[in-house]
Amino acid sequence: MDTLVIKGGKRLKGTVEIGGAKNAALPIMAAALLAPGEHRIGNVPHLRDISTMGRLLANLGAGFHLESNTALLDCSKVKNYAAPYELVSTMRASVLVLGPLLARLGKAKVSLPGGCAIGARPINLHLMGFEKMGASITLESGYIFVKAKKLRGAQINFDIPTVTGTENIMMAAALAEGKTVIENAAREPEVVDLADALKSMGARIIGAGESVIEIDGVSRLRPLRHEVIPDRIETGTFMAAAGITGGEVTIKRCNLQHLDSVINKLKDTGMKIRPLKTGVKVTGPKRPASVNAKTMPYPGFPTDMQAQLMAMMCVAEGTSVISESIFENRFMHVAELRRMGADIIIEGGMATVRGVRKLKGAPLMATDLRASASLIVAALAAEGESTIHRIYHLDRGYERIEEKLRKLGADVRRGKE
Ligand code: EPU
């Protein structure tokens, strides 16, 4: 198994380019199932989750090929309607095939995703939505079986704004009979990107990016042509890495409009963030100032940036309180950060971080994707060497991260257990 070995203490300097957003590319790939023909999706990052989705689509009968950063998908012969346990268990986003399969084939079967490291993460809201659209739902040997002769438009009100839930319903509704209205929809940029991709297929959607989305079903869709938006979480992670090392980094191919809450928070830590014509220049302070943060659905501070901000706060001047309100178990990086000398106390969904002057390198265990990112951020600023184990979590969501960090002057190499 690969490890990442980081010698901390180098100020990051230089230019980095951001890849396409994993969490936009995944639903857009699933959306290809909605229409026969050859689909073309640009700016798709080379990540393990993307190849897992590719394998899943191939398993369902689609042709999948990633050429440079363009995904070519041939969905002329989609016949299979079951997403097997082996794939769903390695990637929860596999549930995104439910909506499109149900709309195209009238049935879909997906292994019920178990809990995962960051929380229980049920899909009851996705299923409630399908049911409202006329689908029947049964549980068979650990598989959710969703079936509908004809999907009808419906009024769907989510108790909690769910990102993949909103995406699943939007995809199913694109081919349903009549109008679907999603209330309390997720407003994340990835939802908007999926809506744009669906519109390129001929779907009729208004309101994506707002709390109410209306989808007027059409009888058929054409193959999609779309460029995936830049990854806002990768952008934010590089900002945090620059911030904690007192670095000066130009970030290219990013979209700052998707990062308002993150930028405002990082500015409060003393970072300078200056938009450029083609990206942004970020400069870290000598030592970050402490800030408080609470994760919220978009446009609030993203849960996917909570761990990276916490890494910064470990060496900040003062005490910061970080609350996690989206997932119930997303503090697994805390135990690892403590092993580096961080002073963090957790009470329920709240972490109190008392900044220390320096973290010390240590052997570390990655537990999930964003926790791994936070360990990298911390290790870049720590005194001495850190070895991060189980970095396969990282490879799910960050494209060539060690190469990008090395280009910025970090002392990072991939090792073996
Ligand atoms: N929820 C329910 N029932 C549902 C669906 C969600 O109770 O049917 C709850 C969840 O348990 C959670 C909250 O609603 O407490 C929000 O979860 P959401 O459904 O929005 O999360 P998701 O769609 O499963 C996506 C991203 C995550 C990101 C979250 C929140 C993808 C593929 N995944 O997950 O990304 O953290 O939205 O923004 O888009 C990551 O990239 O590291 C990652 C975990």
| pLDDT at residue 142 tops 80 | yes
Q: Is 175 helix (H, G, I), strand (E, B) or coil?
A: coil
| pLDDT at residue 113 tops 90 | no
CA 417 to ligand 1 center in whole angstroms:
32
The confidence band for 112, taking pLDDT boundaries of 50, 70 and 90, is confident
**263 carries a ligand binding annotation:** no
CA 118 to ligand 1 center in whole angstroms:
10
Determine the pLDDT at residue 115: 59
Question: Which residue's CA is minimally distant from atom 43 of ligand 1?
Answer: 304
From 164, 258, 331, mutation site for ligand 1 pocket: most ligand atoms within 8 A of C-beta? 164
Question: Which residue's CA is minimally distant from atom 39 of ligand 1?
Answer: 23
Q: What is the DSSP letter of 229?
A: P
- Cα–Cα distances (Å) from 280 to 43, 235, 251, 254, 410, in that order, read 19, 10, 5, 8, 20
Percentage of the chain lying above the pLDDT 90 cut: 92
Q: Which of 75, 116, 254, 314 is catalytic?
A: 116
Q: What is the end-to-end Cα distance of the chain in Å, rounded?
A: 6
Question: Which residue's CA is minimally distant from atom 20 of ligand 1?
Answer: 162
Taking the domain 80-220, which CATH number applies? Answer: 3.65.10.10
The confidence band for 162, taking pLDDT boundaries of 50, 70 and 90, is very high
Q: Is 213 helix (H, G, I), strand (E, B) or coil?
A: strand
Q: Which CATH class is domain 2-19+230-416?
A: alpha beta
| Burial letters 61-91, b for 16+ CB under 10 A, else e | ebebebeebebebbbeebeebbbbbebbeeb
CA 164 to ligand 1 center in whole angstroms:
7
pLDDT digits over 239-292, tens only?
A: 999 999 999 999 999 999 999 999 999 999 999 999 999 999 999 999 999 999
Q: What tokens appear for 254 in the block? A: 């990013």
Q: Is 249 helix (H, G, I), strand (E, B) or coil?
A: strand
For residue 370, give the ligand 1 atom closest to its CA: 42
pLDDT digits over 85-94, tens only?
A: 988 888 999 9
Domain spans, the chain: 2-19+230-416, 80-220
**304 carries a ligand binding annotation:** yes
Question: Which residue's CA is minimally distant from atom 11 of ligand 1?
Answer: 121
Determine the pLDDT at residue 156: 98
Determine the pLDDT at residue 120: 74
Kindly list the protein residues whose Cβ atom lies closer than 6 A to any atom of ligand 1. Answer: 23, 26, 93, 119, 121-126, 160, 162-165, 186, 190, 303-304, 326-327, 369-370, 397
Q: Which residue has the higher pLDDT, 206 or 393?
A: 206
For residue 167, give the ligand 1 atom closest to its CA: 23
| pLDDT at residue 46 tops 90 | yes
- Cα–Cα distances (Å) from 63 to 21, 54, 102, 222, 226, in that order, read 22, 9, 19, 16, 18
| Stretch among 23-37, 101-115, 348-362 having the lowest mean pLDDT | 101-115
Strand partners, 389: 365
Q: What tokens appear for 413 in the block? A: 């190499």
pLDDT digits over 183-228, tens only?
A: 999 999 999 999 999 999 999 999 999 999 999 999 999 999 999 9
The confidence band for 40, taking pLDDT boundaries of 50, 70 and 90, is very high
Determine the pLDDT at residue 83: 93
| pLDDT at residue 22 tops 90 | yes
CA 40 to ligand 1 center in whole angstroms:
26
| pLDDT at residue 145 tops 70 | yes
**411 carries a ligand binding annotation:** no
| CB atoms near residue 409 (< 10 Å) | 15
Q: Is 116 a catalytic residue?
A: yes
- What's the order of all strands across the beta sheet hosting 225-227? 63-67, 70-74, 38-42, 225-227
From 160, 328, 329, mutation site for ligand 1 pocket: most ligand atoms within 8 A of C-beta? 160
CA 129 to ligand 1 center in whole angstroms:
16
| Burial letters 115-151, b for 16+ CB under 10 A, else e | eeebeebebebbbbbbebbbbeeeeeeebbbbbbeeb
CA 121 to ligand 1 center in whole angstroms:
7
| pLDDT at residue 114 tops 70 | no
Across residues 331-351, what is the average pLDDT? 97
Question: Which residue's CA is minimally distant from atom 2 of ligand 1?
Answer: 122
| pLDDT at residue 313 tops 70 | yes
| pLDDT at residue 117 tops 80 | no
